[in-house]
Structures are given as structure tokens and as C-alpha cells.
């Protein structure tokens, strides 16, 4: 490994909310047990029969903001606690940034509002107000008193990964010392109908990288990471042994919804992340792949990862446990990756049974011990966006 510019970025807190668990402990318990529990949509009425991964977050009051915002708040509480940060004391001022990814919360997609508007143009404006006050990063920055860099990333399904990468770039460029980074998205009617219309929603629990995979399951959740400039973390005795070591992004310039068939965009993003981390492909202990279980994504991603890391690379998709959580996915998966590095094992790639002859690698089918210190998390998205994060554990 070579020396890297810009200083190291410590990952001092992880907060996770998904169908796999309300926190990191619950998530690890689900992974250890190989437990997954998709079910029908309960949060709104739909005739679309497809399993989804909802969290147990109860319905909230309008004053609490959107469900996406509440998911993010819940993950934030856990991340701050693990980092040993007091939100009333430690996060104010211009050296604290907030960068969060989302898809649902960026749209004014309230169907009751729009139905009333269409009827006579006199719809109540509460939905508009909630939208205007619900920008994910702006709102959480306000609540925390953080006055540093602030961005909400809407890069479709790589939003969470790109938010972490953006916050990582802020810290490395000196824009802030600490950043709240991650992503959140709620189960919502618009993406459910939209992905259904694209013919990529599976009628059964998803099976990433499996020969007989039939598409994705939607999920909801939030992943929040606390990133700190290493020197700043050391000053307050933050003890986490985890780091975000590299980030790479690249676009396909190919198609709005389909990945570039040769996978070169993903390869470029991964190579950039490895370069930033000062790592070689052989340094990567495992890959937590995007692995949506759609025909196109898994074929292109699997082939690209096999080219980069060889066919024996340890790879898994955690979407079998939590579904595709859209703007939260890249953040949740970065959190899962960091947890696996810390714990020294990865869970089985849930849903996988039969190798696909078009995919020259086989995901892990059991809980698997890992020895290395670095791992990769990949994200692919609408718009031909590719993102890669390298996570690292201290020796």
C-alpha cells in the first residue's frame, strides 16, 4: 500500500435501521441467523403483490416530518452514541458537515395532495410545507446546529454511497473536521409503481446473483456514519478502529436505467476508490456488492468484479436481508461492510442458491470468516452512476 494524500478519515460511529434490525446489534443478529422476513406492503394501499422489506418504525405525527426523516433521525441517534458525541454539545458550528442521500424525500410526490390539487387546484398546502421543511441534510443540520458543509445528494440508488464519499472529500479537503454522512429512504408508492412498471420487481424474495433471480424487492431504512478527521478524532479519544479509506465515482454515459454492458463505469469507480485508498485489488478481503437481483445489474456487476478481483473474490449482497432501500442502500451497505470488518465475518448472501453461468463468481453461501483489513462496497444507479467505497479496519 502506498501513502495517501489528504489524511485519514475515521469512521467513529455507525447507525443502522432496516428490516434486518432497528440498530447494529439487531442487524448482526439477523445476519448471524440468516434471517430475513419480507412481507406485503403495510404502509399504504396497493394492489401490487410483491414482497417488501419494511422496518418496524411506527407511523409518526406530521410534526415529526417525513418517514424518511424519522428513519434518518433514528439511525443518527445510534451513530452519535457509538461515536461518543453529544448532539447538544459536540456538533454545533462551522466545522461539522451533514451530507445525506435520498431519493423519495427529494420529491414532492404526495399523492393525496396531488389528488386534491387535480380536483380543483385548492389542495391544502401542508404537504408542500412538509416538503419544503423536509430536505434531509438541511433539516438535520438545523436540528443539530451544524453550520459546516451541507448537501443532500440525489444520485438515485447510489445516493447514500455518494453522500459518504462527498463527506469524505470534505474532510480530506479541509472543509470540515466531522461529518454526519449517509442516506435514508422510506417505503413509498412512487418507486414501488415505478420499479413495477420497469418489470424489475420480483414476486418472491429476491435472490441476488442467482441464476433464477427475478428482480428486486424494495426496502426502507437509513444508514448514518460519523466521519472524522483522524487528528480531530484522536483529540477526543475516539476509539473506533474503522476508516473510510477511499471513494470513487464514475458515470456510464450509456443509458438512463441500464448499466453499461461492459461494466467499465463500475470498474473505473472501483479503481478510483482503490487508488484513493492506496490499495491493490489483492488488499480487498470481500466485496459487499450492489447486487439488486435484477438480471442486468447482477450480470454486469458480477462480471466487472470478477475482472477486477478474480473469480474467487468473496462477494455478497445484503439486499437479500433488507431489500433495495434506494437512497439509503449505499449508506446501509457501507455500514454493513464496516461492521463485517470489525466483526471479522460476513453473512451468507441471502437468497442465492444456483450459480449463473453468465456471472463468473459465486457469492458466499455461509457465514464466512475474513482476515483482511479492507473491503469494498459498490453502488450502481439510474443515470449510469457508479460509486465505490473502500472501508478499512485498523490492524
Partner 1 sequence: MGLVVPRGRGVDALGRALEEGWRAPASVEAQGLPGGQTPVYRVPAEAMVDPRALRAARRADRLTRMAVLAAWDAAAEGGLTAEGAGARVGVIFATALGPHATTFAFLDGILDYGQAGVSPTQFSHAVHNAAAAYIALALGIRGPALTFTQFHFGFHEAVRMAGAWLAGGRCEAVLVGAAEECGTVQASIAARRLAPPADGRIRPFAFGRPAGTVPGEGAAFFLLTPDGGASDAARIEVAFGAESAAGIDAETGLLILDAGGLSSEEAAYADAAQAGVPVASYAPVFGGTLGLSAFHASAAALTLRRERSFATPVPDHAPERALRVETGGRPVREAVCLRLDCAGRAAALRLRCSRGR
Residue 348 binds partner 1, judged by CB under 8 A: no
For residue 307 the three cell numbers come to 475482472
In whole angstroms, what is the distance from residue 194 CA to residue 269 CA? 27
CB of 247 to partner 1, least distance (A): 9
Q: Which of 35, 86, 126, 173 binds partner 1 (CB under 8 A)?
A: 173
* Catalytic residue flag (residue 255): no
C-alpha 18, offset from chain centre: 11
Residue 1 binds partner 1, judged by CB under 8 A: no
* Catalytic residue flag (residue 290): yes
Residue 170 binds partner 1, judged by CB under 8 A: yes
Residue 214 binds partner 1, judged by CB under 8 A: no
Closest C-alpha to 52, from 214, 230, 201:
201
Number of shown-chain residues binding partner 1 (CB under 8 A) = 73
CB of 17 to partner 1, least distance (A): 22
CB of 303 to partner 1, least distance (A): 18
Residue 142 binds partner 1, judged by CB under 8 A: yes
Place of cell 426502507: 220
In whole angstroms, what is the distance from residue 294 CA to residue 343 CA? 29
Question: Per-residue x/- mask for partner 1, residues 318 to 347, rule CB under 8 A?
Answer: ------------------------------
Closest C-alpha to 158, from 201, 101, 209, 208:
101
The nearer residue to partner 1, 123 or 364, going by C-beta atoms, is 123
Rg (CA), the chain: 20
Place of cell 454539545: 89
- Please state the φ and ψ torsions of residue 147, each to the nearest 5 degrees: -120, 10
Q: Which of 257, 282, 354, 365 binds partner 1 (CB under 8 A)?
A: 257
Residue 5 binds partner 1, judged by CB under 8 A: yes
CB of 128 to partner 1, least distance (A): 6
In whole angstroms, what is the distance from residue 42 CA to residue 11 CA? 35
229: number of CA atoms within 13 Å, CB side? 19
Q: Which of 12, 30, 55, 106 binds partner 1 (CB under 8 A)?
A: 106
CB of 117 to partner 1, least distance (A): 7
Neighbours of 312 (CB within 10 A): 9
Which of the residues are catalytic? Answer: 157, 290, 324
Amino acid at each position: 500500500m502506498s501513502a495517501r494524500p489528504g489524511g485519514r478519515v475515521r469512521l467513529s460511529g455507525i447507525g443502522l435501521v432496516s428490516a434486518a434490525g432497528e440498530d447494529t446489534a439487531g442487524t448482526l443478529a439477523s445476519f448471524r441467523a440468516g434471517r430475513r422476513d419480507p412481507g406485503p406492503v403495510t404502509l399504504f394501499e396497493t394492489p401490487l403483490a410483491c414482497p417488501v422489506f419494511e422496518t418496524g418504525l411506527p407511523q409518526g405525527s406530521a410534526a415529526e416530518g417525513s418517514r424518511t426523516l424519522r428513519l434518518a433521525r433514528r439511525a443518527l441517534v445510534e451513530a452519535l452514541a457509538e461515536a461518543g458525541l453529544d448532539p447538544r454539545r459536540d456538533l454545533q458550528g462551522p466545522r461539522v458537515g451533514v451530507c445525506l442521500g435520498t431519493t423519495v424525500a427529494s420529491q414532492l410526490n404526495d399523492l393525496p395532495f396531488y389528488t386534491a390539487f387535480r380536483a380543483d387546484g385548492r389542495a391544502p398546502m401542508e404537504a408542500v410545507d412538509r416538503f419544503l421543511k423536509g430536505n434531509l441534510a438541511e433539516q438535520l443540520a438545523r436540528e443539530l446546529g451544524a453550520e459546516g458543509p451541507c448537501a443532500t445528494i440525489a444520485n438515485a440508488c447510489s445516493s447514500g454511497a455518494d453522500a459518504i464519499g462527498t463527506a469524505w472529500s470534505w474532510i480530506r479537503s479541509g472543509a470540515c473536521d466531522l461529518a454526519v454522512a449517509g442516506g435514508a429512504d422510506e417505503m413509498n408508492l412512487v418507486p414501488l409503481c415505478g420499479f413495477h412498471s420497469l418489470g424489475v420487481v420480483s414476486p418472491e424474495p429476491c435472490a441476488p446473483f442467482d441464476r433464477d433471480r427475478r428482480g428486486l424487492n424494495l426496502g426502507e431504512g437509513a444508514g448514518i456514519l460519523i466521519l472524522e478527521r483522524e487528528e480531530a478524532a484522536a483529540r477526543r479519544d475516539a476509539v473506533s478502529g474503522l476508516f473510510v479509506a477511499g471513494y470513487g465515482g464514475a458515470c456510464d454515459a450509456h443509458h438512463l436505467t441500464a448499466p453499461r454492458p461492459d461494466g467499465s463505469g463500475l470498474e473505473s469507480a472501483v479503481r478510483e476508490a482503490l487508488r484513493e485508498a492506496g490499495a491493490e485489488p489483492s488488499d480487498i478481503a470481500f466485496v459487499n456488492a450492489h447486487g439488486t437481483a435484477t438480471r442486468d445489474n447482477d450480470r454486469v456487476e458480477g462480471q466487472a468484479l470478477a475482472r477486477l478481483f478474480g473469480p474467487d473474490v468473496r462477494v455478497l449482497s445484503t439486499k437479500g436481508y433488507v431489500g433495495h432501500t434506494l437512497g439509503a442502500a449505499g449508506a446501509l451497505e457501507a455500514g454493513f461492510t464496516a461492521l463485517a470488518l470489525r466483526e471479522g465475518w460476513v453473512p451468507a448472501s441471502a437468497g442465492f442458491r444456483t450459480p449463473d453461468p453468465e456471472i463468473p463468481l459465486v457469492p458466499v453461501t455461509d457465514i464466512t470468516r475474513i482476515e483482511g483489513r479492507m473491503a469494498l462496497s459498490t453502488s450502481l444507479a439510474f443515470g449510469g452512476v457508479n460509486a465505490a467505497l473502500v472501508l478499512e479496519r485498523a490492524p
